[in-house]
Chains A and B, each alone.
Chain A
């Protein structure tokens, strides 16, 4: 509260040395922000982190560039293994992002500066699809809302909801405030979302998980919920990715549990449920309502774009898509199909032949960035369809287009027809 005295942060001798500039002026600058965050979040001490994931490499203007270039100029380097979220450019496919020369140069300089500070040029919002992943129970500093919720929920690692500036400061100092989701007591659910009324065949398509995520975000806000009544056999990482990404967009969800599935729920879930939680029933009607809220175009409308891979398409998703495309029916010439993924997964998808299978039908592949963040789609696009709840949430405002949330089968059928097709049977 405003009148309460500010909580004092106890710093270790090494923290004090960093703050005083003994480890260099760059470390001192980063430490000032970490300590300031500790004060804001009322943490009493700082803790070590094992890895960091930085979201600050997406260009939002000169200030972000000036900040990282100042850290680099002051000699700062990351102290822990650090991955990078998407930038504003596809460095493997120059010219794909339509940006004027000045802004494009600034966006490139921003990406270069984060590499110069020692982070790995992964350029992905799905660092959890890279080879090295955080272990359960370890403290990490991850930024970007979908990466945060995945690390906490699916990997069982512990990260607060870090954002721009403080993400790189955590990486440089190796320290974060002991607060928020780093604290065990803040990871216990306060709500139960009972999903036992949703038929398994509905949960057997990925877009239903995006719709479920939208419901979770709306119902729980920034609380922690446990989802019950979901059979482990319909759950996979891509579905949990879809759930988390949408829940973190429609609400501020940083952690969720799935009974019998996610690591902390497997360990402690029964005790939480026996203690009694406020229970909310999630019905198929709620999922369809969520789908329709994430849809601003109508069935039958002319379709210009199908956008897949937000968060970045995984190898398993490429395999599923390849199966759907196996009959080699072409897309309607007026509908462009875009797939966003990481350069790492793209290399694997090429090795397996999935990427070529998409390209031969005319699908376009984007790496290092994403189709809803920067100008990639043609200027005259009016209606797009996607399996991603996050894309559907942000695209209408970011790009001024209409959007339809659909299953992968609906998206591909629509791309082939050049108009929006809905198969209600997959939603009931």
Chain B
């Protein structure tokens, strides 16, 4: 295993290029941006969602599976415009709706919210909390984090 303080890093397929960093946020259940988040604040408003009330703004959001209305593309694009979007999205499935929202915002505003597609084992290797950074260029991208930070997770208390 890596030494403490060394970097953790996984590679992934780029769905939308860009750069982003922030605290990682694992969604425990799929989320629809339309009907599930507040347009103007990026807060989860779906009362059936276990993370109801959590704010997505500036987070590196991990979405293992997708769900939701195709209007979610518009909601995500609007949240990118209003600067209340996640800093990056890490997907476990080929979610065209989320990806198109980010690509449309890039076309209109030049603002880039990176989206990467990770396979199951790479997703499982991501930290549960703490800061990560996402670099997504061309076809390939990567997610990086500091292993030292993992000592701060509840698992090692």
Interface set of A (CB-CB < 8 Å, partner B): 1-6, 29, 32-33, 36-37, 39-42, 55-56, 58, 60-64, 66-67, 70, 143-145, 161-166, 394, 397-398
Assess the B119–A145 pair: CB atoms within 8 A. Answer: no
The list of the 10 closest CB pairs from A to B, nearest first, reads A163-B70, A61-B78, A2-B119, A60-B74, A63-B77, A63-B78, A1-B119, A164-B73, A165-B104, A2-B118
Q: CB-CB < 8 A to B39: which residues of A? A: 60-61
Q: Give Cα A70–Cα B78 distance, bound, in whole angstroms.
A: 15
Q: Give Cα A199–Cα B124 distance, bound, in whole angstroms.
A: 48
Partner among A32, A42, A70 whose Cβ is within 8 Å of the Cβ of B94: A42
Whether, in the assembled complex, B105 has its beta carbon less than 8 Å from a beta carbon of chain A, the answer is: yes
Assess the B70–A143 pair: CB atoms within 8 A. Answer: yes
Assess the B103–A64 pair: CB atoms within 8 A. Answer: no
Q: Give Cα A260–Cα B82 distance, bound, in whole angstroms.
A: 51
Q: Give Cα A21–Cα B26 distance, bound, in whole angstroms.
A: 40
Query: Which residue of B is nearest A144, CB measured?
Result: B70
Given A163-B73, A166-B100, the answer on whether A63 and B105 have CB atoms closer than 8 Å is: yes
Q: CB-CB < 8 A to B101: which residues of A? A: 164-165
Q: Give Cα A199–Cα B118 distance, bound, in whole angstroms.
A: 48
Known: A2-B119, A63-B78, A164-B101. 15 other contacts (CB 8 A): A2-B122, A3-B119, A6-B13, A36-B16, A36-B99, A40-B94, A40-B95, A41-B96, A62-B78, A70-B108, A143-B70, A163-B73, A164-B73, A397-B35, A398-B35
Assess the B81–A62 pair: CB atoms within 8 A. Answer: yes
Assess the B107–A32 pair: CB atoms within 8 A. Answer: yes
Assess the A61–B108 pair: CB atoms within 8 A. Answer: no
Total A-B pairs, Cβ < 8 A: 119
Chain A nearest CB: distance from B151 CB in Å?
27
Q: CB-CB < 8 A to B89: which residues of A? A: none
Assess the B116–A2 pair: CB atoms within 8 A. Answer: yes
Q: CB-CB < 8 A to A3: which residues of B? A: 11-12, 119, 122
Q: Which of B103-141 contact A (CB under 8 A)?
A: 103-105, 107-109, 116-119, 122, 139
Given A1-B119, A2-B122, the answer on whether A164 and B74 have CB atoms closer than 8 Å is: yes
Query: Which residue of B is nearest A58, CB measured?
Result: B71
Query: Which residue of A is nearest B139, CB measured?
Result: A6
Q: CB-CB < 8 A to A67: which residues of B? A: 77, 104, 107-108
Assess the A40–B116 pair: CB atoms within 8 A. Answer: no
Assess the B81–A2 pair: CB atoms within 8 A. Answer: no
Partner among B15, B70, B109, B119 whose Cβ is within 8 Å of the Cβ of A162: B70
Q: CB-CB < 8 A to A37: which residues of B? A: 96, 99-100
Q: Give Cα A189–Cα B115 distance, bound, in whole angstroms.
A: 32
Assess the A164–B108 pair: CB atoms within 8 A. Answer: no
Q: Give Cα A234–Cα B154 distance, bound, in whole angstroms.
A: 59
Q: CB-CB < 8 A to A5: which residues of B? A: 139
Q: CB-CB < 8 A to A36: which residues of B? A: 16, 99-100, 103
Q: CB-CB < 8 A to A143: which residues of B? A: 70
Assess the A163–B105 pair: CB atoms within 8 A. Answer: no
Q: CB-CB < 8 A to B72: which residues of A? A: 163
Chain A nearest CB: distance from B57 CB in Å?
16
Q: Give Cα A39–Cα B119 distance, bound, in whole angstroms.
A: 16
Q: Give Cα A133–Cα B34 distance, bound, in whole angstroms.
A: 29
Query: Which residue of A is nearest B35, CB measured?
Result: A397
Q: CB-CB < 8 A to A164: which residues of B? A: 70-71, 73-74, 100-101, 104
Q: Give Cα A6–Cα B71 distance, bound, in whole angstroms.
A: 26
A-B contact pairs, 17 of them (CB 8 A): A1-B119, A2-B118, A6-B13, A36-B16, A37-B96, A37-B100, A40-B99, A42-B94, A56-B74, A63-B77, A63-B105, A163-B70, A163-B96, A165-B77, A397-B35, A397-B46, A398-B35
Partner among A2, A4, A165, A397 whose Cβ is within 8 Å of the Cβ of B73: A165
Given A2-B12, A165-B104, the answer on whether A145 and B35 have CB atoms closer than 8 Å is: no
Chain B nearest CB: distance from A34 CB in Å?
10
Chain B nearest CB: distance from A54 CB in Å?
11
Q: CB-CB < 8 A to A33: which residues of B? A: 100, 103-104, 107
